[in-house]
Structure formats: C-alpha cells, structure tokens
Structure 1
Amino acid sequence: MKSTQLSVLAVVATMALSLMTVLVVDAHAEGTDADASSAAVSKQELKAQKKAESKARRAKKNAELSQLQKNGYNPAGNQTNYPQNLQNAQQKAAGQKPSNAPAVAP
C-alpha cells in the first residue's frame, strides 16, 4: 500500500516538474524570438568585449608578475620560504624596504 502511494506521488511530482519546465522554456522562447538578428549581433559584441577584458586582465597580471620577478621573486624556484619571498618582492616593487632579507632560490 505504501509503495503504491509513493509511486503515485513520484509520478505526480515528475509530471508537475515537467509542466513547469515546459512553461519556463516557452516563456524564454517568446522573449528570445522578438529580435533574433540583434541578439546575434549582441552576442558577437559581448564575445568581443569579454575577449578584450580577458586580454587586459592577462596583460595586467603578466605586468605584475614581471615586476615581482624584477624585484627578486621566482615562482619556479625553491618555495620553502614562499610567502616571505613574495612579500619581499611586493615591498620592493612598492618602493619599500623589505622587512626580512629575501630568501634566495637556487
């Protein structure tokens, strides 16, 4: 008896979920059918904007890493004193005297 009730409940829940999914998809389709050609242009513009932002972020990170490397940080070197090495390079880059002597990586 209980397994039959659970089965019926599962079927009803599945049907309700399916109905809600269909309604949401239909509502979304109505909104996107309005102007498909401008949406394609918008997608292209959005993609180009994201690509430009990504390039700018990458260039900024590469410049920061280069500056740290010029001030003694070696990301590929011995990392036994990792946080202190990085902090010393950051302080040097900022024009401050490092609080501890930089650890030398082999």
Structure 2
Amino acid sequence: MKFKQLSIFAVSAIMASSLLSVSALPAHAAASDAGASNAATSKQELKAQKKAERKARRAKKNAELKTLEQNGYNPAGNQTDYPQNLQNAQQKAQQKATGQKPASAP
C-alpha cells in the first residue's frame, strides 16, 4: 500500500514539474530568440568585416602585381630567371617610389 502511494506521489510530482517547464518554455524561447537575433547580427557583422578585409587584401595584391608588371615583371613569361626578374621589378618600383634614378644596366 505504501509503495502505491509513493508511486502516485512520484507520478504527480513529475507531472507538476513538466507543467511548470511547459509554462516557462515560451518565456525562455522569447529570450533565446532575442539572443539568437543578436548572435545573427554579430555573425552578419563579422562576415561583412571578413569580406571587407578579403577585398582589401585582394586589392592590395592586385595593385602590387600591377606595379611589378609596369616595371618589367611578367608572371606568365619566361620563368628561367624567375627570382631575378621579380627582384629587378621590385627594385625598379622601389626606386620610382623613392624618386631615385634607376641604376644603369651593366
């Protein structure tokens, strides 16, 4: 008999706790939705910031490549003298930027 009363008490306690959790669920859901929208906004801002950084790096790389090409470097050209060709173009670009006269060829 005592076991039957104890099991009825346990079942009613479980039902009461489930009812309490169901009534608190909409409030929790609303709070988590607000947090989710803030997280989504910060994710969007982070994504936009990363995209802007990628575009800036790409623009810088393309500008450097254009400068090197204007100073004689051809990335699609003959690669037998690759490091020297690139270094010569870098040296010419640096000399133009500082206003120095390029050294005469030997």
TM > 0.5 fold call: yes
Q: Distance in 2 between matches of 1:94 and 1:100?
A: 17
Letter in structure 1 aligned against 2:38: S
SS of the residue aligned with 1:77?
coil
Where do 1:58-77 residues align within 5 Å? 58-77=58-77
Report if the CA contact (8 A) 1:88-1:99 is conserved. Answer: no
* Post-superposition offset of 1:35: 1.8
Where do 1:24-35 residues align within 5 Å? 35=35
* Post-superposition offset of 1:66: 0.1
If the length of structure 2 is used for normalisation, what is the TM-score? 0.59
Query: Which residue of 2 is the match for residue 27 of structure 1?
Result: none
* Post-superposition offset of 1:36: 1.4
Q: 1:92/1:77 Cα in 2 relative to 1: closer, same or farther (>3 Å)?
A: same
If the length of structure 1 is used for normalisation, what is the TM-score? 0.59
SS of the residue aligned with 1:73?
coil
State the structure with more CA Rg.
Answer: 2
Q: Which runs of 4+ in 1 moved over 2 A?
A: 96-101
* Post-superposition offset of 1:99: 8.9
Letter in structure 2 aligned against 1:52: A
Q: CA RMSD in A?
A: 2.2
Gaps spanning 5+ residues in structure 2: where?
1-31
What is the aligned length? Answer: 69
Gaps spanning 5+ residues in structure 1: where?
1-32, 102-106
Greater per-residue helix proportion: 2
